[in-house]
Amino acid sequence: MLRKKLFAEFLGTAVLVATVVGSGIMATNLSPDLGIDLLINTVATVFVLYILITLLAPISSAHFNPLVSAIAFFRKELTAAHAIAFFVVQILGGSLGAIIANLMFEHPAIDPSQNVREGVNLLLGEVVASAGLIFIIFVAVKQGIDKKIPRLVAAWIGAAYFFTSSTSFANPAVTIARSLTDSFSGINFSSVPAFIGAQIVGAALGYAGFKYLTTKAKSGK
C-alpha cells in the first residue's frame, strides 16, 4: 500500500511539474506577451491540478507538496519515515517532470535556470501563496468537504498565479524542479533556498490560522 502511495505522489508531482514547465515553454513559443504567457501557464496548471487531485487523492491523499506532507506528519497522519519518503518521491518526481518537459521542447534534459527571483516582495508572495494553500486544504478537511479540495486548491493556485508577486510556487518540490529549466517558469537555483524558507513560513502561518479558527474555545472563555 505504501508503494502505491509513493508512486502516486511521484507520478502526480511529475505530471504537475511537466505541466507547469511545458506550458511555460509552449506559452513563450506562441506569444512574446508576458501576460498571455502567464495566462496559458495558469490555465494548464489549474486544469491538471484538478485532474491529479481528483484521481490520486483516494490513493495517497494527493499531497504532491512537502509542505502538505510535513503538516500531515505533525498531525500524526504520517510517520516520520513515511513523511521523508513522501518528500523524496515528490522531489524526484518533480525533477523528472521538468526533465520530460525540457525534452519535449528540444531543450537540454537538465537546463539550469538563469531566472534569478529575489527580493522581499517575492518572498512575501510565497508566504501568502503557501499560507493560503495550507489554510484552504485543512479547513476543507475539518469541514468534511474533502471532495471539494480539487476545485478549491486549483482555484487558489489559479488566483495566486495572478495576485501574488512570485506567481505562487508554494511548493518546495516544484521550486527545486523548476530550477532545472531555463524557461518562463524557471528559477535560478540561488533563489531556491529563500523561496523554500518563505514557503515554510507561509505553511506555518496558514496552519496556525486554521487551528485558531477551528479549535473550540474552552468553556467560560
DSSP 78-93: S-HHHHHHHHHHHHHH
What the block records as the C-alpha cell of 77 is: 497522519
Q: pLDDT-derived band of residue 217, with 50, 70 and 90 as boundaries?
A: low
Residue 184 pLDDT > 80: yes
Q: Please compute the mean of the pLDDT values over residues 10-22 and round it to a whole number.
A: 98
State how far the Cα of 212 lies from the Cα of 209, in Å rounded to an integer: 5
Query: Of 166, 86, 109, 59, whose CA–CA distance to 78 is shortest?
Result: 86
pLDDT at 164: 98
Find out whether 114 and 182 touch, Cβ atoms under 8 Å.
yes
pLDDT-derived band at 216 (thresholds 50, 70, 90) equals: confident
Tens of pLDDT along 108-152?
A: 999 999 999 999 999 999 999 999 999 999 999 999 999 999 999
Q: Which amino acid does the sequence have at 90?
A: Q
When pLDDT is averaged across residues 198-218 and rounded to a whole number, the result is 93
For residue 204, give every residue at least 6 positions away whose Cβ sits within 8 Å of its Cβ, in sequence order, or none. Answer: none
Asked if residue 137 lies in contact with residue 149, where contact means CB atoms within 8 angstroms, the answer is yes
Instruction: Give the span between the Cα atoms of 213 and 25, in whole angstroms.
Output: 41
Is the pLDDT assigned to residue 214 strictly greater than 70?
yes
CA–CA separation, 212 vs 137, rounded Å?
A: 15
Q: Distance (Å, rounded) from C-alpha 25 to C-alpha 186?
A: 10
What pLDDT sits at residue 219? 55
Which residues neighbour 89 within 8 Å (Cβ) at sequence distance 6 or greater? 6, 7, 9, 10, 13
Burial of 221 (0-12, 13-18, 19+ CB in 10 A): exposed
What mean pLDDT is reported for the chain? 96
Q: What percent of the chain has pLDDT over 70?
A: 98
pLDDT band at residue 218, thresholds of 50, 70 and 90?
low
CATH class of 2-214: mainly alpha
Average pLDDT over residues 25-39: 95
Residue reference for cell 518563505: 198
Q: Which of 124, 122, 106, 121 is nearest to 181 (CA)?
A: 106
> pLDDT for 78-105, tens place per residue?
999 999 999 999 999 999 999 999 999 9
Residue 221 has pLDDT above 70, yes or no: no
Q: What is residue 135's predicted lDDT score, i.e. its pLDDT?
A: 98
Q: What pLDDT, on a 0 to 100 scale, did the predictor assign at position 58? A: 97
What mean pLDDT comes out for the span 58-64? 97
Q: Which of 76-90, 116-130, 180-194, 207-221 has the lowest mean pLDDT?
A: 207-221
Report pTM. Answer: 0.95
